[in-house]
Amino acid sequence: MEPLLLFFYITGFTCFSVGILTIPYYPLSLAFEMRKSKQDIFNSKDPFVSIVVPAYNEGKVIGHCIKSILESNYSEYEVILVDDGSSDNTLEEMQRYETNSHVIVVTKKNGGKASALNVGLKLAKGEVIFFVDADGIFAPDTISKMLSGFISEDVGAVCGNDAPINVTNLQTKLANLLTHVGTGFVRRALSSIDCLPVVSGNIGAFRYSTLEKTGPFLEGFIGEDIELTWRVHRAGYKIVFQPWAIVYAESPSTITGLWKQRVRWARGLLKTAYIHRDMLFNPKYAPFAFYLPINLTSMIIIPLLQLISILLLPVLLYLNVNPIPLSWISIMGWLGMFSAIFALLFAIALDRAWSDLKYFYVIPLWVLYSLMMDVVMLWAIIVELRKEEAKWNKLDRTGIVSR
């Protein structure tokens, strides 16, 4: 039975090891932060920025988004609001701000998020193009912090840091904690070794010259943000994570909403991996090409192994083998809670978000969340094999702002 028992531990140990191996790179990331303000790599000291905000039935949240951008402490920008054929009051909410000299409003027939982004891109005049979700709320310095992420001329894109704006129930409180790990912790490390796999659709910035080489978003495709990111790597550019460029956005507040969002993300990853499969282990795209197998293993293979290990539990119990230790300390270790708590505390320290420690009591839900994400990946694989239509399944917004 020893091989079977070992199988129960291998997936958690692998995930933890990957995270630990990235820790030495954080001092390098901090060093980059210290250099940013000393470099002038644009055509002017304050480059003109185009902020593209696509929206479909976002009437509850689009006003907060626009208002936050217009209150930025950066002056050289335009906001291109693209209504993707909404059936609610989204267009009317946009038009309320049309008299502002920074704002451009355009409406189009519904065609999906990528098509709306591309309409905005065609109108953009900026040296740097921001792509922002309609529920995103900027901090006053979000634009300037994003620009500081362009630390050299070979940086083609910068990914900002997103955080939940609707921290009101157990699910969103857990999401708030996990954001520190999955975004603040992991993306810092991957950025430091030039292996960041996604520029978040919530808050991402690209040089216009980079997009001229990569081409626009792939239309009719879910996961357009990750697919474009891989093309940026393919074109030979670096991608930087800027943890202090904050945008607050709605996190799914229901299990159904979370399921739809994560299945969409998982399918986007699977589709992107298939399209760009020639990048794996290809030295032409190093170092990203050599990280991709690790990324795909942790995101696709390990969740399946974890599900298999859970299915093996009844078999082991039937054979009178109990793989679950009886003491509470052993049970926590078996569930990976100690490594999870360590990673979370480390991530909160990096983000200087000590106030979020008040949500620590929801950590036990992380086990259930992890199991749900395993099932999400399995289901995403199934629907991809079935070649089912890829629908956007956007979140139903609440408009709640709790920060």
Residues of the chain with pLDDT under 50: 1-26, 28-30, 32-38
Residue 45 pLDDT: 87
Measured CA to CA, the distance from residue 95 to residue 81 in angstroms comes to 9
SS (H, E, C) 110-161: CCCHHHHHHHHHHHCCCCEEEEECCCCEECCCHHHHHHHCCCCCCEEEEEEE
Classified as helix, coil or strand, 403 is coil
Name the pTM for this structure: 0.87
SS (H, E, C) 206-235: EEHHHHHHHCCCCCCCCCHHHHHHHHHHHC
DSSP 321: -
Q: List the domain boundaries for the chain.
A: 1-38+149-403
Closest CA to 48 of 244, 207, 215, 201: 207
Measured CA to CA, the distance from residue 280 to residue 282 in angstroms comes to 5
Residue 325 pLDDT: 63
Residue 6 pLDDT: 41
